[in-house]
């Protein structure tokens, strides 16, 4: 059963440290999305890629966040420097890019910044 794989599952770090989250989309999917979810907010879109090209990263704080797809099997989301307000669950999702196809989510990375 194909699935989106995210690592790490949990990350606890101190304020100011760099955090890197990784995502392996489902093989053959050409769209990748990064979302953030906190208790107070719904799913917040940070960035998305189509065919490895960033199409929209307007939801991402540019000064500290960056998202890349070095190849078709890996997407990364980096936070540098991290702040306590970045504590959240970060989800990666991938899709086939067809308008009638749903997104498939990874298990998420639960980030705590102290």
Partner 1 sequence: RKEVEQDPGPFNVPEGATVAFNCTYSNSASQSFFWYRQDCRKEPKLLMSVYSSGNEDGRFTAQLNRASQYISLLIRDSKLSDSATYLCVVNKNGNQFYFGTGTSLTVIP
Binding site for partner 1 (CB under 8 A): 31, 33, 41-43, 45, 48, 50, 55, 89, 91, 95-108, 110
CA distance 75 to 1: 20
- What distance in Å separates the CA atoms of residue 114 and residue 112, rounded to the nearest whole number? 6
Q: How far is the CB of 108 from partner 1 (least distance, A)?
A: 5
Token couple for 26:
């489902």
CB 81, min distance to partner 1, A: 26
Nearer to partner 1, 28 or 102 (CB): 102
CB nearer to partner 1: give 27 or 99. Answer: 99
Nearest approach, Cβ of 103 to partner 1 (angstroms)? 6
Closest residue by Cα to residue 7 from 113, 107, 112, 114: 107
Q: How many CA atoms lie within 13 A of 102 on its CB side?
A: 2
């Amino acid at each position: 059963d194909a699935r989106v794989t995210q690592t790490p599952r949990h990350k606890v770090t101190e304020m100011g440290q760099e955090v890197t989250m990784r995502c392996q989309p489902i093989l053959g999917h050409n769209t990748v999305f990064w979302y953030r979810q906190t208790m107070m907010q719904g799913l917040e879109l940070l960035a998305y890629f189509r065919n490895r090209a960033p199409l929209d990263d307007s939801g991402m704080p540019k000064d500290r966040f960056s998202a890349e797809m070095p190849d078709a099997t890996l997407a990364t989301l980096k936070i540098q420097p991290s702040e306590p307000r970045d504590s959240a669950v970060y989800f990666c999702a991938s899709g086939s890019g067809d308008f009638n196809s749903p997104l498939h989510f990874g298990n998420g990375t639960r980030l705590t910044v102290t």
